[in-house]
Copies of this chain bind each other. A is one copy, B any other.
Amino acid sequence: MEPLLIELSSPGRVGFSLPSLDVPESELPNDLVRDDLTLPELSEREVVQHFTRLSQLNFSVDTGFYPLGSCTMKYNPKLNEDVARHPGFAQIHPRQDQSTVQGALQLMSELQEYLAEITGLPAVSLQPLAGAHGELTGMLVIRAYHLNRGDDDRHTVLVPDSAHGTNPATATMCGYEVITVRSDHRGNIDVQELDRLMDHRVAGLMLTNPNTLGLYEEHILEVAEIVHRAGGLIYCDGANMNALLGIARPGELGADVLHLNLHKTFSAPHGGGGPGGGGTAVTEELRAFLPIPVVGRTAGGGSDGGAEYYLDYDRPLSIGPVSSFYGNFGVMVKAYAYLRSLGGHGLRTVSENAVLNANYLRQQLTGYFELPYDRPCMHECVFSGKAQARLGVHTLDMAKRLIDLGFHPPTVYFPLIVDEALMIEPTETESLETLDAFVAAMRQIAREAEDAPELVRDSPRTTPVGRLDEVGAARKPNLKWQA
């Protein structure tokens, strides 16, 4: 495999070319000057070769099917990449006078509006930098809301056992105690238990809809009713919005706060793990608490020659800013381009196709793998590898076998409430042929689990490295090179 940069480094090599100093030198603060800086030394050619080779070691959406559940690994339109790199977007400074960045502010303002329209929640902050950051923002908004009403006795938050890990982690960061709510036999939140747990000490419920089982919460209106009745609010984790675009508005289903994942639903690429965008939408009631600044628009529309769009900091009830500036602007540009490309009807076809694709996989794999909750799914479906596990072939083994068959594995071992979970999200950008090829591979693996379990357990074989010693890695962590 490709060596590390430091192994490729050779003293005196340079990969940069900088202008020479064109001003007189000044005296350096010698007591503060460092002695040494052990960065690698390589020519430009070597840098490019290294990272190009590294890139080829990756599976990616551009090179194949990547049905990683909960992550919405849809195809990222190349158009978006191009427009986001325009110097008028990339080369503007966040502290420029607002009159000189009206195009950027207009884009943000319109994006706020579009997301409000899609979610049915009228007030939007684009500042959160990823989904979990949106959760933090939203839960702090909920907290501020209660406190502002003088309701300072709410110290707990309810979180379903199927929730994504960021939900309870977020609640903790906001100072809440987490109470876990069970799911029922249909994969819904257990309404009776919810009813029992909900009281005036509960700030709210963190709900995911469709939930992490890929299932629509059948009692969502009732759930919202129960929570609201007790004075709580509904935080809706919108990571799964790819199922609901133009299908239903969370704001009309009882959500008070919802974060979106611009890097999932709105096609901004995942970047190997970010950057994301966690735009957060709230009800009118909660608007005042959103982070500062939000983008505003002057009523007069700047017709007097003044700036039309502006950054609104004058929000005394705001929870404060949650990041350095105004959010991941570059990601917003991509989401904006995507929304303008599709329009309202186009968005609905996105969700329709995402859901149809997932149901097709669900149907085609039923009988080969256990389906813990046997009902139509939304944009993803969750199987259990329990049957195979009984044969000694675990979900992890099957995931690795899929790699050998040319597919990125689904999300595995999540949600936690499904044993040996396999969480498959095809997205709308995959063709029927791809789904069929994936189905064939999965069925083959199910067969192999019976006939040739070793084959599955010993995979992957086609990758530059085999299964890695994770225990060893954690026991004696080697987290950087020794220069």
**A contact set with B: CB distance below 8 Å:** 8, 10, 13, 17, 43-46, 48-49, 52-53, 56, 62-64, 75, 77-78, 341, 429-433
Contact = CB atoms under 8 A, between A and B. Distances in A.
Count of chain copies = 2
A75 B48 contact: yes
A12 to B, nearest CB: 11
Given A49-B62, A52-B63, A63-B56, A431 B75 contact: no
Given A44-B75, A45-B430, A56-B56, 6 more contacts: A43-B429, A44-B78, A45-B75, A46-B431, A53-B64, A56-B63
Task: Indicate the member of A45, A48, A53 with the most B CB atoms within 10 Å.
Answer: A45
7 contacts: A8-B433, A44-B75, A45-B75, A45-B429, A52-B62, A53-B63, A56-B63
Contacts of A62: 48-49, 52
A343 B429 CA distance: 49
A48 B53 CA distance: 19
A10 B433 contact: yes
Given A17-B341, A44-B75, A44-B77, A10 B431 contact: yes
Given A10-B431, A17-B341, A43-B429, A63 B49 contact: yes
A429 to B, nearest CB: 5
Contact of A43 (B10, B49, B56, B431): B431
A239 to B, nearest CB: 22
Contacts of A53: 63-64
A49 B429 CA distance: 12
A52 B78 CA distance: 13
B64 A49 contact: yes
List the 8 closest A-B pairs by CB distance, nearest first.
Answer: A45-B75, A52-B62, A45-B429, A52-B63, A48-B62, A53-B63, A56-B56, A49-B62
A43 B75 CA distance: 10
A405 B52 CA distance: 18
A432 B8 CA distance: 11
Contacts of A43: 429, 431
A56 B58 CA distance: 12
Contacts of A44: 75, 77-78
Nearest to A47: B78
